[in-house]
Amino acid sequence: MRRTPLIATIVTIAALAFGGCVPGVTPPPADPPSSPPSSGQEGDMRTRLARALQPVSPDTATLVEDAARTTLTEVPAEWLDGWILIDVLHYGAHHPRRVYVALSDTDEVQLLTGRPDGFNAVVRGTEPSQDTAADVARTFLDTTRDFRKWSYRVERVEDVTWLPKPTAEQSRARDALIKKLRSKITAPRPVADGDAWSVTLWTVTGTSLVQHELTVRADGTVEDTAVVAEPDLPVPDSM
């Protein structure tokens, strides 16, 4: 069942284009927003999430309680039952802060940012299929980013954000990379590997192009092996 975003103000890519304080703020590219719930629903969710976070991460709970400056947006995950994944974005006085968390129907909470084990605790037992393996892998990368560097997924070379005012040398490097990578960076195509699926995804992390070889196991858990495919891209290292 598709759930809706948790607030009336949907956080768009443009709204997330902050400075280097919050790297990797670009959300999954193919997640169109749904209709927002009522303010009563959002308030109830905010209260539940803040209460669940208090013993686990008091700082994050404080951010969630700040309804004036913190947005809560659900990450679409139709394949996941019993939990919702939430993008918590706080617009602080000096810089924004972003955290991904998961909240269960029984108000259990898991922190996801920088914590693959937290993600796997949430998804264990979901029994993914060939049709859902790619979405599971995408969601894993999107929600477990640690934000030490600006990072975003790309599924075609056109998704790469190049330097807006490159030098002549950087322009030549960019054009050569576009030609080289056009056939390499593609949308994921899960390949059966025994009772698991292998999924290849790509991210721009800092100024590097990173290739992720993910294994989506039969129990829903995910393992990621990441290798820098191209260092020193002519791209911004922050937004």
- 158: exposed, middle or buried (C-beta count within 10 Å: 0-12, 13-18, 19+)? exposed
* 163-197: pLDDT as tens digits: 999 999 999 999 999 999 999 999 999 999 999 99
pTM score: 0.81
**Domain match, 18 and 128 both:** yes
Domain extent for 216: 151-230
Alpha helices in 13-110 (DSSP H): 39-53, 58-65
User: Is there a domain that residue 6 lies in?
Assistant: no
User: Is there a domain that residue 141 lies in?
Assistant: no
Contact of 227 with 12, CB cutoff 8 Å: no
**Domain match, 119 and 161 both:** no
| 3-state SS class at 7 | coil
Query: Looking at residue 98, what is its pLDDT?
Result: 93
User: Is there a domain that residue 145 lies in?
Assistant: no
Taking the C-alpha atoms of residue 152 and residue 150, their distance in angstroms, rounded to an integer, is 7
**Domain match, 28 and 75 both:** yes
Domains in the chain: how many in total?
2
Q: Which of 132, 164, 189 is the C-terminal boundary of a domain?
A: 132
Question: What is the pLDDT tens value at each position of the chain, 239 positions in all?
Answer: 444 444 433 333 333 334 334 433 433 333 333 334 445 566 789 999 999 999 999 999 999 999 999 999 999 999 999 999 999 999 987 788 999 999 999 999 999 999 999 999 999 999 999 999 999 999 999 999 988 888 999 999 999 999 999 999 999 999 999 999 999 999 999 999 999 999 999 999 999 999 999 999 999 999 999 999 999 999 998 76
